[in-house]
Amino acid sequence: MKEVVRIGKKEGPDIYSWHSIYKELAQLIGTEATIQIYQEFKGTQVHFPVRLIRPDALPYVLNNEYNGKNLRKLAHYYGYSERHLRRIITDNKEKADENHVNDHSLPYLLDLTKNEKGKKNEE
């Protein structure tokens, strides 16, 4: 990131002479951060998506943040409907169930673990 360059004798910048977008940014994040954004991105069109989280990352986020009781709060915070988040949570559970290894479906694993336990007890 580039260093903030100050021009002029004034202690602080006169934000009232700035373009409206820079004034809004200065009010939100402060003048120093606004000047850094200006110096880094001036002349560039920037698009801010409506939602903070990418759709492909939403299952991971929900897996980490959903506690069984905070669906409404998560839906509001991330800008998705409760129904959509509930569908993703259900899909996550189904995928987890599909990936779960059932000990009874792999009897040779049970034999291996029994043999390993038996060897440890003999030592």
pTM, 2 dp:
0.54
Task: Name residues whose C-beta falls within 8 Å of residue 32's C-beta, 6 or more positions apart in sequence.
Answer: 4
Burial grade of 66 (CB within 10 A; 0-12, 13-18, 19 or more):
middle
Asked if residue 58 lies in contact with residue 87, where contact means CB atoms within 8 angstroms, the answer is no
For residue 29, pLDDT beyond 80? yes
Q: How many residues does the chain have?
A: 123
For the residues 10-31, what does the mean pLDDT come to?
88
For the residues 38-48, what does the mean pLDDT come to?
94
